[in-house]
Amino acid sequence: MRILLLKPDWTPTGGRGQVRYARHVRFAPIGLGILAALSDGHEVRVVDANWDRVPLDEPFDLVGITTTTFASQRAFELACRFRSRGAQVVLGGVHASLMPEECLRHADAAVVGEGEYIWKDVLADAASRKLSGVYRADRITDMKDVPRPRRDLLNESGWFTCVEASRGCLYRCRYCYLPSVPWREHRTRPLGAVVDEIASLRQGAFIFVDENLLQARDYALELFREIAPLRKIWLVQAPTSIAGDDELLDALARGGCFNVQMGFQSFSDASLKDAGVDHGRVEKYRGLVRSLQDRGIIVSGFFMFGFDTDGPDVFDRTVEAIQDIGVDDANLFVSTPFPGTEYHARYEREGRLLPGRLREQFGWSHAVFQPVHMSPEELEAGVQRAYDRLHGHFRRRLREVIVRQWGNLARNPRFLAAMIRGNLSTTRVGGTSVPFEA
């Protein structure tokens, strides 16, 4: 069969708060690269619509589309276009696992769960033109069964790429989709396979795309020791629970970590409790940031607004606290209950979901529910005001960050260029989009 594996444009409407230099980085869809590796005997093409032209005018026997909630309308439109040309279409990814029946209204099949064990059934049925219904993985993937992605099919022309060492997360933060999907259990890939893959990368920099790699502390310590001699630089997501763990912080720095993306979420213990974040300690934030920066690591903080304990004063208080703890970058999000999660069901039970909100608006920059202590408009405007206030602050801090990272920047001039371009960017919150019909 001739197979197209496609990631739609995942740029959320209104712009999403994210690491500013990361807006100028190509994040390879390695999940599709893994499916390509599991498609022996077929002609496979991988396309990332964020960077590549979608081949709508070419014939394919099977089109696999991975999608998130905020990109689902685009995915459905693409599915319709390809089906009109005779291709069979299967939808996968987070949204298909959360809302499989909705996906079936726009495709021939939907995959719920991880693809490693179910993809062979999808291929067999597609080859017989019998692709139909929901394909559910009957168990979570043993990470030793995850093949190395077909990087030869990925658009990796940039200085940066992606690596997966683990999957899942044991935390149960209410705003997160992970507690609602089948792959929540935390697992790690065999250490040697990860080290060998990193050694084979032609790029000098990469991101661990893991939801919570540091949750496997002993594994992470050994991994970072093993990859240190490779002299790669990398980015990783980390929980605030690593505060005070000097052995782990030292391993991060020695292993080549140049940036930690950290989910602080809120400076209010009440808000953290409301969000189900039981591992955050506000009183440790400043010391944790300083500990990472003293080791030469950039700290990008993630903060969320719209919790039931948040009032109109939360925005200015958060800006002041962000400046006080000294993070190098701030990424601000509107709390977003994704359809198919318990968080969404809770707002539905309480009658707080706003009518007329579009799927493209479920991307962390729109208020899609009624907050307790402010209007939806005040929530969006408050996040925008916080971004505007912080923009100049972080531009002024850029020189300090460049000095701290000069060794890595000198070896990776495209990293420096991306950092400067990103620092000059602004973020827009809210906005309008095209109506969606499920």
Give the CATH number of domain 158-424.
Answer: 3.80.30.20
CB 400 within 8 A of CB 37: no
Q: How many CB atoms lie within 10 A of CB 13?
A: 22
What pLDDT is recorded for position 15?
A: 46
What pLDDT is recorded for position 320?
A: 97
Residues 261-285 pLDDT 10s: 999 999 999 999 988 898 878 999 9
CB 304 within 8 A of CB 175: yes
Residues forming a β-bridge with 133: 109
Number of H helices, E strands in the chain: 15, 14
At 103, phi and psi to the nearest 5? -60, -35
* pLDDT for 26 beyond 80: no
What pLDDT is recorded for position 416?
A: 73
Q: Averaged over 198-205, what is the pLDDT?
A: 95
Q: Averaged over 340-369, what is the pLDDT?
A: 93
* pLDDT for 373 beyond 70: yes
What pLDDT is recorded for position 411?
A: 74
CB-side neighbour CA atoms (13 Å) of 156: 21
What pLDDT is recorded for position 11?
A: 74
Q: How many CB atoms lie within 10 A of CB 29?
A: 27
Residues 377-395 pLDDT 10s: 999 999 999 999 998 898 8
Mean pLDDT check: name the lowest of 4-18, 83-97, 99-113, 211-225: 4-18
Torsion angle (degrees, nearest 10) of CA 47, 52, 57, 59: -20
Tokens in use for 421? 């371009």
Q: Averaged over 238-249, what is the pLDDT?
A: 95
What pLDDT is recorded for position 225?
A: 98
Under the banding of pLDDT at 50, 70 and 90, the label for residue 407 is confident
CA–CA dist 251, 79 (Å, integer):
45
CA–CA dist 282, 268 (Å, integer):
7
Q: Averaged over 350-359, what is the pLDDT?
A: 92
What pLDDT is recorded for position 169?
A: 93
45 to 104, 189, 220, 235, 377: CA distances (angstroms):
23, 26, 33, 28, 43
Q: Where in the chain do CATH 3.80.30.20 domains reside?
A: 158-424
What pLDDT is recorded for position 281?
A: 85
Q: State the chain's mean pLDDT as an integer.
A: 90
Residues 182-197 pLDDT 10s: 889 999 999 999 999 9
Q: Where in the chain do CATH 3.40.50.280 domains reside?
A: 2-136
Q: Which fold has domain 2-136?
A: Rossmann fold (3.40.50)
* pLDDT for 104 beyond 70: yes
Indicate the SS3 state at residue 199: helix
Pairing state of beta strands 298-305 and 205-208? unpaired
